[in-house]
Amino acid sequence: MYRGNLPVLMYHHVSRKSGLKTLSVSAFREQMKWPAETGWYTVKTENIESFYQGNQLPRKSVMLTFDNGFVDNWFYAFPVLKEFNLNAHIFLITGLVGEGPARRFIVDKYSHQDCEVQIRVAFHPHSRTHTQWGNINLTPEAALTFFRSDILLAREFMKRNMGECSHHLCWHDGYYNSDYISVAAELGFRFLYTTEKRVNNFKNGTLHLGRISMQERQHLVWLKRRLFCYTMPVFSSLYSLYKNQGNLSH
């Protein structure tokens, strides 16, 4: 057990059809098979929260995250996670969840557009509308008001449909600033996930959690090197110093 660093992997699509932010099923399975067979522990929500309260994790710990809650996560990613008994976290766009019967596996491939449909799987809120808050044509004050409403609606959806809402929130497209952090904290979110490459540890807190973007070009050797850098104290300190110099402007 150790109180070191927690690498967080970021996924979007896992599918047989290549395209925007999509990892092939074979590449994803390879990326999951190796940590499962070499003793890596995929953390649960309670593990993360305990870690940031000062408690310990297994040395080889990693967090798996999926943004948006696309339907291919269920058809392609979940069977792999189940095969290797791995834990994962989905940040859900609640506005894309609808009523009706559960989706059945009726096609062989899904495009990005195909996946923006109604699904039922979720763990943490991402947003309600998936609007790019930093790019909307509003004054800063109006944009902040819109952001508050968007996240509040996502939080209420989670409470209404799941009985509770976690304290974890993922920034859409990685956009945030100090005002957005303040609003998120006011609404009860203490763990805020970015798209920035940053080493996560107890000392750095939970308001700027970094993630490693996993794409088709990131093969297994690349993943092994990243996890080594993020979990070895000396290498992670040097990597953190290098990366954080360009990531603290938010």
Report pLDDT digits (tens) over 115-151: 555 436 447 989 898 887 767 788 888 989 999 999 9
Please tell me the predicted confidence (pLDDT) of residue 248. 37
Please tell me the predicted confidence (pLDDT) of residue 71. 86
Strand ranges (E), 50-121: 61-68, 89-93
C-alpha to C-alpha distance for 57 and 84, rounded to whole angstroms: 20
- List, for residues 76-103, the tens digit of each pLDDT value: 999 999 999 999 999 999 888 766 666 6
The pLDDT confidence band at residue 233, using thresholds 50, 70 and 90, is: low
- Checking if the pLDDT of 170 tops 80, the result is yes
Distance of CA 226 to the CA centre of its chain: 17
Q: 132 is written with which tokens?
A: 């790019």
Closest CA to 122 of 89, 171, 152, 87: 89
Label the pairing between strands 191-193 and 168-170. parallel
- Checking if the pLDDT of 58 tops 80, the result is yes
Label the pairing between strands 41-42 and 61-68. parallel
Of 44-58, 61-75, 130-144, the poorest mean pLDDT is in: 130-144
Helix axis angle for 178-186 and 140-162, nearest 10°, is 30
Model pTM score: 0.85
The CA-based angle 109-112-116, given to 5 degrees, is 105
